[in-house]
Amino acid sequence: MKKIEIHGGKPLSGNITISGAKNSAVALIPAAIMADSPVTLEGVPDIQDVHSLIEILEIMGAKVTFSNNRMVIDPSNVVSIPMPSGKINSLRASYYFMGALVGKFGEAVVGLPGGCFLGPRPIDLHIKGFESLGADVSNEHGVIYLRTDDEGLKGDRIFMDVVSIGATINVMLAAVKAKGKTIIENAAKEPEIIDVATLLNNMGAKIRGAGTDEIRIEGVEELHGCVHSIIPDRIEAGTYLALAAAMGEGVTVHNVIYEHIESFIAKLEEIGVEMNISEDSIDVLPSKNLKTVDVTTSPYPGFATDLQQPLTPLLLKAQGTAEVIDTIYSKRVNHIPELVRMGADARVEGNLIVLNGPSKLHGAEVVASDLRAGACLVIAGLMAEGTTTIYNVEYILRGYDHIIEKLTALGATIEMIDEEEAE
């Protein structure tokens, strides 16, 4: 079992470079199997979710090479085999194989996905989209079966009842080879949607409107390989900006697309964080007299749910009372009891998080309940006096590329300890 040990209270300075977007990579990799020749992805983050996807691809018959954040996927020998359990269950984004496989082969057998538990995240919208395109979908003992008739998928007009990144991408994957035109209404607008559409278009798809609430897709008969560079990870960027604001004595965050985190940066400015923003980097200056702000998460371009937890420790450093409401995942509150264990004046009232600052944090033994809660605890540990030990670090490794090395380069005293090796 691995754990992270942090000796906190040390000011941080220097440079940190943001990796490729996790939430893009986990959709782009399944999308690549739809091509009939090799696809090269540049800037792939070296995270556990990516390694899990590689294992799934290899089971399906793909040849994959991955080094220095560059991945080459040769899908020439991919076959549609049942994937009811194993790696598929541990990975939320494995549901993208549904859209990719039913789009490529007209059939798919995929186990219901796992990932971080943040409350109900039903795949009803995905199923509704597949059925609108003509697939027959059944759930048999937790395994989703998708089948089509001899004519395959057919384009249709699909209205998303709720804005959903996952469902928008999945329907887009299924629709690119469907006969005729598909229109997705009330589509999610996140940068990752545009990234996936860009890859598919480079592969020969005909997608227009990605990034707006209406995406139009003209079906094509075949898709070919290409080279594609993944966008920077806006959630990783926000995480390190929050850390730099909390403990930085001059930190520059590189490889950032400002427009992707505009709402987050606006909130930092409201708190009183001083920054110099340039074309693809942000200098975070030492900031004093921080004040608390209220946060309400909402779909893009609003404040991202994934950045609610990483911002929390910074709010505890500010003066006043802050209220945080997560309208996307109301159960995203498990980081609060762990912060209280570290001395935070914080509580959960129903779906509302209440934070009183400034709270002086001290080291403690804490447990990460999910990926972004883990990021929150890393920031809190770096802020705290004394030693913090974080357990369940597998969640953190799912989404943060070389987090220990990046933070060590800023001057943090942080290490990963494998307890089995230590014995």
The verdict on 273 and 204 lying in the same domain is no
Single residue among 206, 229, 252 that ends a domain in this structure:
229
Q: Is 328 annotated as a binding residue?
A: yes
The verdict on 265 and 128 lying in the same domain is no
Q: Is 121 annotated as a binding residue?
A: yes
Confidence (pLDDT) at 235: 98
Q: Domains in the chain: how many in total? A: 2
The verdict on 315 and 406 lying in the same domain is yes
Q: Is 22 annotated as a binding residue?
A: yes
The verdict on 87 and 13 lying in the same domain is no
Residues contacting residue 136 through CB under 8 Å, at least 6 positions apart = 146, 147, 148, 149
Secondary structure in 3-state letters for 239-253:
HHHHHHHHHEEEEEE
The verdict on 82 and 199 lying in the same domain is yes
CA distance 93 to 188: 16
CA distance 64 to 50: 12
Distances (CA, A) of 240 to 199, 206, 356: 27, 36, 22
Confidence (pLDDT) at 422: 55
**Hey, what are 363's tokens?**
């080291």
The verdict on 161 and 91 lying in the same domain is yes
Confidence (pLDDT) at 265: 98
The verdict on 223 and 296 lying in the same domain is no
Told to judge if 116 belongs to the known catalytic residues of this protein, a careful annotator would answer: yes
Single residue among 193, 214, 229 that ends a domain in this structure:
229
Q: Is 184 annotated as a binding residue?
A: no
The verdict on 209 and 299 lying in the same domain is no
The verdict on 187 and 237 lying in the same domain is no
Is residue 34 a contact partner of residue 75, using CB atoms and an 8 Å limit?
A: yes
Q: Is 125 annotated as a binding residue?
A: yes
Q: What is the CATH number of the domain that holds 208?
A: 3.65.10.10
- Determine the structural domain holding residue 110 and report its residue range: 22-229
Confidence (pLDDT) at 398: 93
Single residue among 207, 229, 251 that ends a domain in this structure:
229
The verdict on 237 and 172 lying in the same domain is no
Q: Is 306 annotated as a binding residue?
A: yes
- Give, for all 423 residues of the chain, the pLDDT tens digit: 899 999 999 999 999 999 999 999 999 999 999 999 999 999 999 999 999 999 999 989 999 999 999 999 999 999 988 876 666 666 656 889 999 999 999 999 988 765 555 454 568 899 999 999 999 999 888 788 999 999 999 999 999 999 999 999 999 999 999 999 999 999 999 999 999 999 999 999 999 999 999 999 999 999 999 999 999 999 999 999 999 999 999 999 999 999 999 999 999 999 999 999 999 999 999 988 999 999 999 999 999 999 999 999 999 999 999 999 999 998 899 999 999 999 999 999 998 999 999 999 999 999 999 999 999 999 999 999 999 999 999 999 999 999 999 999 999 999 999 987 655
Q: Is 286 annotated as a binding residue?
A: no
Which of 31, 44, 116, 172 is the catalytic position?
Answer: 116
Distances (CA, A) of 234 to 22, 66, 299, 400, 410: 9, 22, 14, 12, 20
The verdict on 315 and 377 lying in the same domain is yes
Q: Is 82 annotated as a binding residue?
A: no
The verdict on 152 and 100 lying in the same domain is yes
Is residue 404 a contact partner of residue 416, using CB atoms and an 8 Å limit?
A: yes
